[in-house]
């Protein structure tokens, strides 16, 4: 059953540490298998892709059918309400990320050295989109639109179609997001194709998007050949709620992430023990009504937690130790508490901001750091698709002002050619 913790209990620290240490990832030993797949694709290209797609996805392809044609993408359709919802989401995601775009900078410092930096988009991005039962059109938008806003020139999307099945709404989302290429490929072999290229597919510069253990391992192994984004783990949500909330609302919020994965984690922190107990009852009531409750039930019972504190003033310290992917502050005045929080992927303020609006239509990307990595990383943004080039310019006077220090440091580090390249210019200007 769900863990119940009381911060006033003598063994709370041990219980909380155990909660943080719970095994939340399926540690499959896939590195060797993945390495073999990567090597095969690198050596045999399209032939290896066809072989692995038949083996793992039970789909027979030819080089000319690896890519989904433009006509098929253009013809993809779905119920009008679903397309309208995607369009609404796409508009909001694009607007939010346009506001993130940074400006170039150029300035002169106090000795007249010209300094600055310029932002440029990465040329080609590979987007991995899970297929089958985990096909999420919203993830297409959340990954592809920030890339487009950043100015990426080419966006190639990989989506497996097991047995030939492909959610048409994924293709609609790709069309709305301006994806250039869509390929019927998944798994480690898709990552290999993006990293190394084949006769049919040009390689990319960076790979983004979530996937299973094989995809995650493949991304780790090709890093350096290409860039990668976060290594996504199971989803997680932490809700801080007082007794003024509707328990049914909070229970639904907890289950909104628990239903993603048996290894997802949902945690409630409250200063009201009676309210917390009512929320756990509401969770069970919701589970009894969900059409497919098995995943959410296992996640909640195995990894869920309810933490009761005497005051919400204790919450920020606990939040920062958890460093959750999603943090809901379901309070009338959440800002005071939020000001004390350092580590969270995305924060949802107030009683009417459920995490689910962030998954779809709020605007920020829902690709967020998991497994405590919000301590050192951020959610996906335009900055994941940009690179910064620094700029320096010295004239004779400026080099004379700062060059002697460079000579001294180069000599101290035992790098005489470094020192010479500056010293020669100083000597010529001084003669």
Judged by DSSP in three states, 227 sits in strand
The residue among 90, 99, 95 whose CA lies nearest residue 179 is: 90
The interaxial angle of helices 80-98 and 168-177, nearest 10 deg, is: 30
* Residue 200 CB partners (closer than 8 Å, separation 6+): 45, 46, 63, 66, 67
Bridge-based pairing state of the strands 386-393 and 114-121: antiparallel
Bridge-based pairing state of the strands 265-270 and 105-108: unpaired
CB distance 279 to 248 below 8 Å: no
CB distance 158 to 148 below 8 Å: no
End-to-end CA distance of the chain: 83
Q: Counting Cβ atoms within 10 Å, is residue 400 exposed (0-12), middle (13-18) or buried (19+)? A: middle
- Report the 10 Å Cβ neighbour count for 413: 10
CB-side neighbour CA atoms (13 Å) of 41:
28
Bridge-based pairing state of the strands 326-330 and 236-241: parallel
The residue among 310, 284, 400, 195 whose CA lies nearest residue 1 is: 284
Structure tokens at 293: 């409750």
Cα Rg, the chain, nearest whole Å: 26
Structure tokens at 335: 């800002």
Alpha helix (H) ranges present in 153-245? Answer: 168-177, 187-196, 213-222
CB distance 400 to 429 below 8 Å: yes
Question: What is the rounded distance in angstroms from the CA atom of residue 259 to the CA atom of residue 297?
Answer: 8
Structure tokens at 396: 């004779």
Active site residues: 325-326
CB distance 236 to 266 below 8 Å: yes
Judged by DSSP in three states, 232 sits in coil
């Amino acid at each position: 059953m769900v863990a119940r913790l009381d911060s006033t209990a003598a063994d709370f620290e041990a219980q909380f540490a155990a909660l943080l240490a719970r095994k939340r990832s399926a540690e499959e030993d896939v590195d060797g298998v993945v390495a073999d797949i990567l090597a095969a694709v690198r050596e045999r290209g399209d032939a290896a892709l066809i072989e692995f797609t038949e083996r793992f996805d039970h789909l027979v392809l030819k080089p000319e059918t690896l890519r989904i044609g433009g006509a098929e993408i253009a013809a993809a359709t779905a119920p009008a309400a679903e397309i309208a919802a995607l369009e609404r989401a796409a508009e909001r995601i694009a607007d939010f990320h346009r506001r993130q775009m940074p400006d170039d900078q150029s300035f002169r410092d106090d000795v007249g050295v010209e300094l600055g930096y310029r932002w440029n988009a990465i040329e080609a991005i590979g987007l991995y989109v899970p297929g089958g039962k985990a096909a999420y059109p919203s993830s297409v938008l959340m990954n592809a639109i920030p890339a487009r806003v950043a100015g990426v020139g080419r966006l190639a999307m990989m989506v497996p179609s097991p047995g030939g099945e492909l959610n048409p709404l994924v293709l609609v989302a790709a069309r709305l997001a301006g994806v250039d290429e869509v390929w019927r490929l998944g798994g480690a072999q898709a990552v290999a194709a993006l990293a190394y290229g084949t006769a049919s597919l040009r390689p990319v510069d960076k790979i983004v998007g979530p996937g299973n253990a094989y995809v995650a391992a493949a991304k780790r192994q090709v890093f350096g050949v290409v860039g990668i984004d976060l290594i996504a783990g199971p989803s997680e949500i932490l809700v801080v709620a007082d007794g003024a909330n509707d328990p049914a609302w909070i229970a639904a919020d907890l289950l909104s992430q628990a239903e993603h994965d048996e290894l997802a984690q949902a945690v409630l922190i409250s200063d009201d023990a009676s309210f917390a107990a009512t929320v756990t009852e509401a969770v069970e009531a919701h589970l009894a009504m969900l059409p497919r409750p098995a995943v959410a039930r296992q996640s909640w019972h195995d990894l869920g937690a309810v933490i009761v504190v005497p005051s919400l003033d204790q919450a920020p310290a606990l939040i920062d130790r958890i460093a959750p992917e999603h943090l809901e502050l379901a309070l009338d005045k959440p800002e005071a508490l939020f000001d004390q929080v350092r580590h969270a992927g995305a924060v949802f303020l107030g009683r009417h901001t459920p995490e689910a609006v962030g998954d779809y239509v709020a605007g920020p990307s829902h690709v967020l750091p998991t497994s405590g990595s919000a301590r050192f990383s951020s959610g996906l943004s335009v900055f994941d698709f940009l690179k910064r080039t620094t700029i320096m310019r010295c004239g004779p006077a400026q080099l004379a002002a700062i060059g002697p220090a460079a000579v001294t440091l180069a000599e101290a580090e035992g790098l005489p050619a470094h020192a010479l390249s500056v010293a020669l210019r100083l000597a010529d200007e001084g003669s």
